[in-house]
Structure 1
Amino acid sequence: MAGRAVGGWTLSRRGLLATAATSLLAACGRDEGTGIRRPENPELVIGVNLELTGVGRFMGLLQERSLRIMADTLNETQVPVGNLRRTIRLVIRDNKSDPRVAADQTDELATRENAHAIVGGCLAETSLRIIPAAQQQQVPFISFAAADNLTTPLSERTYIYKLAPDARDMARALAGLIRSQGLERVGLLAAAGAHGDSGVRAVTAALESTDRTLVATARLPRTEGADCGPAAGRVVAEFPEAVIIWGTSPFSAAAARALRETGYTGGIFFDAGAVTEDTLSDQNSEAVEGSYAVHPISLSGSSLTNTTTAGLARRDFVYRYLHEHGSFSGFAPYGADAVRLIADAARLGKSVDRGRIRAYLATQVVEGIAGAYSFSPIRHGGMAADFLGVFTVSSGAWSRVS
């Protein structure tokens, strides 16, 4: 058999084939003790579909930071999945706060990028367009939006989960706070779209249950920079003692400014969607000083005395966030929790198969960075109500009241 001289060595054709096969096996690697071939750098691919520009940017940019911090943290030891340790790879796309773009990017992440799961959708409208695409591609999707119809009807949302608190729980907390302050007449300024729809339903029911009177409801404009004055004027004309603003940044703070510009001096109460850096910015600080918000307790950061596993994880996350970004935002931890939930589902299912990740997400009962989640086959969303707190703006910062 003819040989070939290579660097002073003469290899036969059979020897060349054997050498090539050995090199291929070395490149692929083997699981110790099993002899099963595996890729050298196995990954857990998480598609990220976020509002990094456009009206949802105040929330989307926070989630991008959080996602990166948690992925980096888990990658220090990698994620054990079956007999492999996988590296988390984030594939990040900016949906520009455009629902149509969000839907297209979901298809791309699921097909071209072969994402094992997708996270994102800080706005209800973008999440609602991601959902049918995720369902069709059968890829698990964890939403950061708060609208109640994201995970219902469950028969049409089998791959869909959400982390934000339920509107019902936030509304009950706000109504209880208003009652505790002896306020009777309440106005409501609600965002346009699904988030505001959830708020109107939940606030109406919560005020009725606490014997408060809803004197007026007005919807905020859909377009950033549009005048909130007419909506604020309609509510103030009914002489409320308290006004609930149910929306997301930057609309929430714009509504607060509009209320103050009418001469309204009563209490302002926000849902969790208002809690971003924009709400406390210089242009909004005077209008929102003394206002209240219901938000997951993560807004208060991490207690140094909390030595539970969840408490230590929360403290480590806050430290890393402060180290990288200088200040901590309580809205940010949803992204960290989403990465951890997906990693845990893959670990428990011993697979990155999308169907198994979906199934094991439905068994998660955990305390995360933002709060506690209790998923089940018949419940795919909503933070536990016990992990909501009441906060007030004091000297330009959020301070916990209860």
Structure 2
Amino acid sequence: MAKPVTGPSVITRRGVLAAAAGTLLLSACGREDERDAAVTRPTPGHELVIGATLELSGSGAALGVAQERALAISAATLNEKGVAVGNLRRQVRLEVLDNRSDPRLAARQATELGRRDDVHALLGTTLAETAMSVIGAAQKLRLPFVSLAFGDSIAVPLAQRAFIYKVTPDAGDVARRLAQLVAAEGLRRVVLLAETGLHGDSGVRAMTGALRTAEVGLARTVRLPASEGGAAGAAEQAVAAQADGVVVWATAPRSGAAARALREAGHRGELFFDAGAVAEETLESHNLRAVEGSYAVHPSSLGGSTIANSSATGRAHRNLVSEYIRRHGAYSGFAPYASDALLLITTAARLADSVDRGRLRAYLQNQVTDGMAGMYSFTPIRHSGMERHSLGVYRVDGGVWNRLS
């Protein structure tokens, strides 16, 4: 049983942010209520157009498909009344493109969307490599882009990311929570098995420092190759270090493949995952024996929303979960990132009274919002807005993620 993980007060920090979010959103909601009397349905011919480049096939499909499903549900809910922007109520139109997990294709899609006058913002990409390829086009065309990918380099350096935002948690916050968990479990030495690429690079930097702070030894760092057949060799190297546990820093489906390879190589100790592992694929039947009893750090949406049930966001989260299950049979804890990106963009449009790209950017970077996955606090000097206190610790018991703290 995991011991409680100590840290700064969640209630105090979250309460302050929630109050700020309430103040910010209250003004928007107040204006919207006033408009309801005059405009009760979307204004014909007026739209808020949001492009989405997603990994619907290829190596990132395990995460990208969940985003497409969540977007469809959240957009349909928004369009029941439309989005109040100025004196109009706009219909949200999503233009979803499959980038096939190919960075070059993702960049081309972002360029094509950005050159169109009728596209107001862009969201998407669940892989760090596709996100990085989109950044250049979004910046050049001054198109606000909200990324769903893991990787700290997506949102920094700020001088080159004026139009770029990220909704996933920072590697440092996830690593700090994982290291605290490892220490609380009494482990003295662990191996870090990190995927090759930008997300793995962020994990190696963050976990190295976090383990040192937690006074846990890092026995070895092993990189997990991008190829599906490379997991076995990496797992053998990890097991050879004879550590107490292994931290797997990889997105699905590579995280599940790594867990299977580790068990087949003889690892009987504990397994820990970063947030990128949380997808339906990780808990599929071919992975269950390997991941049973393992731990993950992930935003609170995985174990149910922490937001007030009576709030608009709480109602939207309940609708997303129930409709997602109705349509697809099981709910993905990763799904709310896309819904939150959509929420952030539409809230920016409401607050700005405009769909102008520059004004959307200005209101994105001054937004505090309680989303479905967690709390976001964006500022002009911080475009990676997920608050660290939105993270929770989970364990796989009986084939499902259960929240421990």
Instruction: Please name the residue that 1:205 is paired with.
Output: 209
- Whether 1:362 and 2:365 are equivalent positions in the alignment is yes
Which of the residues 336, 339, 343 maps onto 2:339? 336
Contact 2:110 2:138 in 1 (8 A): yes
- Whether 1:153 and 2:164 are equivalent positions in the alignment is no
Mark the CA change 1:303 to 1:326 in structure 2 (over 3 Å): closer, same or farther: farther
Which of the residues 91, 99, 106 maps onto 1:102? 106
Q: State the AA in 1 paired with 2:53.
A: N
Instruction: Please name the residue that 2:21 is paired with.
Output: none
Q: Partners in 1 of 2:286 and 2:318 — Cα distance?
A: 31
Contact 1:303 1:315 in 2 (8 A): no
Instruction: Please name the residue that 1:8 is paired with.
Output: none
Mark the CA change 1:309 to 1:89 in structure 2 (over 3 Å): closer, same or farther: closer
SS in 1 for 2:230: coil
- Whether 1:93 and 2:97 are equivalent positions in the alignment is yes
Q: CA deviation at 1:39?
A: 7.8
What are the superposed Cα offsets for residues 141-192 of structure 1, whole Å, 9 maximum, x if unpaired? 0001110011111010000000000000100110011111100001000011
- Whether 1:50 and 2:54 are equivalent positions in the alignment is yes
Listed as ranges, the matches of 1:3-402 within 5 Å are 40-112=44-116, 114-223=118-227, 225-302=228-305, 306-402=309-405
Contact 1:151 1:381 in 2 (8 A): yes
Q: Partners in 2 of 1:313 and 1:51 — Cα distance?
A: 25
Q: Partners in 1 of 2:393 and 2:270 — Cα distance?
A: 14
For the pair shown, the structure with the greater C-alpha radius of gyration is: 1
Q: State the AA in 1 paired with 2:354.
A: S
Instruction: Please name the residue that 2:5 is paired with.
Output: none
Q: CA deviation at 1:324?
A: 2.2
Q: Partners in 2 of 1:305 and 1:136 — Cα distance?
A: 39
Instruction: Please name the residue that 2:17 is paired with.
Output: none
Q: CA deviation at 1:233?
A: 1.2
Contact 1:298 1:330 in 2 (8 A): yes
Q: CA deviation at 1:350?
A: 0.7
Which stretch of the first structure deviates more once superposed, 173-182 or 309-318?
309-318
Q: State the AA in 2 paired with 1:247.
A: A
Contact 1:47 1:115 in 2 (8 A): yes
Q: Partners in 1 of 2:85 and 2:172 — Cα distance?
A: 37
What are the superposed Cα offsets for residues 66-125 of structure 1, whole Å, 9 maximum, x if unpaired? 111111111111001111110000001000000000000001111247310000010000
Instruction: Please name the residue that 1:12 is paired with.
Output: none
Contact 1:302 1:318 in 2 (8 A): no
Q: State the AA in 2 paired with 1:354.
A: R
Structure scoring higher RCO (CA < 8 A, sep ≥ 6) equals: 2
Contact 2:345 2:364 in 1 (8 A): yes
Instruction: Please name the residue that 1:15 is paired with.
Output: none
Contact 2:43 2:91 in 1 (8 A): no
Give the alignment's TM-score, normalised by structure 1.
Answer: 0.88
What are the superposed Cα offsets for residues 196-243 of structure 1, whole Å, 9 maximum, x if unpaired? 0000000000000010000001111112x2231111111211111010
SS in 1 for 2:58: coil
Q: State the AA in 1 paired with 2:103.
A: P
SS in 2 for 1:93: strand
Contact 1:301 1:328 in 2 (8 A): no
Contact 1:301 1:318 in 2 (8 A): no
Instruction: Please name the residue that 1:20 is paired with.
Output: none
Q: Partners in 2 of 1:399 and 1:220 — Cα distance?
A: 27
Q: State the AA in 2 paired with 1:53.
A: S
SS in 2 for 1:228: helix
Equivalenced residue count is: 367
Contact 1:191 1:246 in 2 (8 A): yes
